[in-house]
A and B are shown apart, each in its own frame.
Chain A
Amino acid sequence: QSALTQPASVSGSPGQSITVSCTGTSSDVGSYNLVSWYQQHPHKAPKLMIYEGSKRPSGVSNRFSGSKSGNTASLTISGLQAEDEADYYCCSYANTDTWVFGGGTKLTVL
């Protein structure tokens, strides 16, 4: 199972919006609406931000949203804040009871 493809880095200024893409195949992202997104600050454990493509867990800001089109899922962060600076990972359920992560995207808030 190959890793999902994410851009290595994205950046934006406070208040702006950014989108992180996550491209897979018809065996994972394209087959299921089961993409989740995780935020990871340095030396910390990942934190769930989006699940099942577009759902937010309790306590996650509504500035975070998710979507999917074909084999590509996207995470959008609106109204960028300094504390959003982190690494973001997508993850998809793949066939035969396995999961696959993306390579991660470093978000810099300028």
Chain B
Amino acid sequence: QVQLVQSGAEVKKPGASVKVSCKASGYTFTGYYLHWVRQAPGQGLEWMGRISPNSGGTKYAQKFQGRVTMTRDTSISTAYMELNRLRSDDTVVYFCARGDSYYFDSWGQGTLVTVSS
């Protein structure tokens, strides 16, 4: 069955960077986009961007342009999301989600990133 397993919680200082991983299994990794979605405590979902594991091509939401980088390692079926210049309002849960056509059919368990001095 399709599984997306994310890396564990992180605590970072303001201005630092964080890199979250998402390991896929149960399907052909290069056959589906991988999206990143985040959720602040008690708030809604926010789409951050996506990567094509096949080509490595990316598309980012305008809000995160210049601060986010999405990459992948096809040899280990893993995608990564790195966010730079962290601020306190980046204290959220980050989810990866498999994109099947225009929707998200499988999700990772989420990774809490806490930004605190």
From B50, B59, B102, B110, name the one whose CB has the most chain A CB atoms within 10 angstroms: B102
Query: What residues of B have a CB within 8 angstroms of the CB of A109 in the complex?
Result: none
Residue of B nearest to A104 (CB): B44
Contact in complex: A93, B47 (CB < 8 Å): no
B side interface size, CB within 8 A:
23
- Sample of 7 further A-B pairs with CB below 8 A, known A40-B45, A46-B37: A46-B107, A52-B101, A52-B102, A98-B59, A99-B102, A100-B47, A101-B37
| A69: interface (CB < 8 Å) | no
In the bound assembly, the distance between CA atoms of A57 and B104 in angstroms comes to 11
A77 at the interface (CB under 8 A from B): no
Q: When chains A and B are docked, how far (Å) is the Cα of A99 from the Cα of B59? A: 10
Pick from A1, A45, A93, A98: contact of B107, CB below 8 A.
A45
Across the interface, name the chain B residue whose C-beta is closest to A94.
B47
Q: Is the interface of A mostly helix, strand, loop or mixed?
A: strand
Contact partners of A36 in chain B: CB under 8 A: 102-104
Q: Say yes or no: B102 contacts A1, CB within 8 Å.
A: no
Which interface residue of B35, B47, B108 has the most chain A CB atoms within 10 A?
A: B47
If the complex has contacts A1-B62, A98-B59, A98-B61, are A48 and B103 also in contact, measured as CB distance less than 8 A? yes
Tell me which residues across on chain B come within 8 A of A91, comparing CB atoms. Answer: 45, 47, 103-104
